[in-house]
Amino acid sequence: MTVFHDAATRVECDSIARWKKDGKPVVGYTCSYTPAEIFYAVDILPVRLRGIETDGMEVGDSYFGPFICSFPKCILQLAGKGRFSFLDGAIITPGCDGMRRLDECWRKAGEDFEGIVPDYFYYFDVPHKSENHGMAWYIEEINQLIKSVEDHFNVNITNEKLQAAIREFNKGRRLLNEIERLRCEKDVVVSGTDVFAAAVAGTVMPRDEYTAELKKWVSALKKRKTSLSEGKHRVMLVGSISDEIDLFELIENTQKALIVGENLCFGIRYEGNEIAEDGDPIEALAGHYLGSSVCPRMYGKYKERLAMLKERIGQSRAEGVIMQNIRFCDLHGAENALFERDLEAMGIPCLRVEREYGPHIDIGRMKLRINAFLERIEGRKKANKGDGDET
């Protein structure tokens, strides 16, 4: 797990540093709607931008103001401090309005902090619907992105190269799916923290290196015998964007809970959902990244998202769901309230908590809420046993 934890907990991990040392370009992107295969197809390392290791907010506050999600503010803070100096390019995507504003705020900050805006700085638009005109629009955006990358980096992105990149990424997706199956067993042999670290690592490591390391780890997991789930409550973590390993540690360090699933855009959201390896690769990428989206930014998909979440709760045998949203995250804040209403009506205990992204200044409050929720699950299990229900 060392290589995964290094990749998941550092802005510029060893894998990125080695790639840069070889003289190859690195492009950062802000959202899971960006097809990373496009860059990897021509030996450009796609790195998902994160706000970890932020130790202040003077730059972020200066351009964003106080009343906005702290995730894009942390990214801007790191940019303003020169922490993204290894980037040769950046792709900004409107996953939400806060992330859309990152485009203009980063550009504006570049007027005051010399050298913080990469030479290649691109706005990749994404529609809010996947049907008909929405899909056609997204495919056109992909084509424009490809041409922009080709022109700036002097490369040629062919269908054959895209298909090869898709095949390489699919190898990792299949391995992550194997891990998810292990987490669905009665006796779980891997912690949620380690699984999440492995998933996050896949967004920053060179894909062939990542696939090789993941294959070794999955092989080792299948040989493990010691159960980590005995005596612990199985929970699922959902909600706002999170790349923070310490959030998972906070929950599992209670010694009362094991995270057996998550629905976060940095986690294993599309496990098993491989991209078609034949046919038109651009249409295949569009079908995966937009057509399979389960993000609350997409209009008219709530019933599908609720059904998917209910199915995953059943598969993972989760006994409760922890719903977190970053303060001022309207998308997940509103959707979590709906999830809580509907899942509680199905008899699934839920905890809905608002928090800040970045340094956990509210760690004490989070611990209190989580422990109280786990006590509720324990009480519910005892009551069910008293009624003769062993499930």
For residue range 344-379, list pLDDT tens digits in order.
999 999 999 999 887 666 788 999 999 999 999 999
- Residue 68 in domain: yes
CATH code at position 47? 3.40.50.11890
Q: How many domains does the chain have?
A: 1
β-sheet with 120-123: strand ranges across: 45-48, 26-29, 89-92, 120-123
- Residue 121 in domain: yes
pLDDT tens track for 377-391: 999 888 887 765 544
Give the sign of the dihedral formed by CA 192, CA 197, CA 200, CA 205: negative
The residue to which tokens 């019933």 are assigned? 303
Interior angle at CA 113, CA 115 and CA 6, nearest 5: 65
Share of the chain above pLDDT 90, in %: 87
Q: How high does pLDDT run on average in the chain?
A: 93
CA distance from start to end of the chain: 34
- Residue 82 in domain: yes
Rounded to an integer, what is the distance from CA 181 to the centroid of its chain? Answer: 19
For range 218-234, the mean pLDDT:
95
DSSP strand E in the chain: where? Answer: 26-29, 45-48, 89-92, 120-123, 233-239, 257-263, 320-326, 350-355
- Residue 33 in domain: yes
- Residue 130 in domain: yes
Per-residue model confidence (pLDDT) at position 362: 79
Whether the pLDDT of residue 260 is over 80: the answer is yes
Q: Which domain holds residue 142?
A: 13-155
- Residue 50 in domain: yes
In angstroms, rounded to a whole number, what is the distance separating the alpha carbons of residues 269 and 329? 19
- Residue 302 in domain: no
At 273, the pLDDT band (50, 70, 90 cuts) reads confident
In angstroms, rounded to a whole number, what is the distance separating the alpha carbons of residues 247 and 249? 5
- Residue 335 in domain: no
Interior angle at CA 350, CA 336 and CA 314, nearest 5: 100
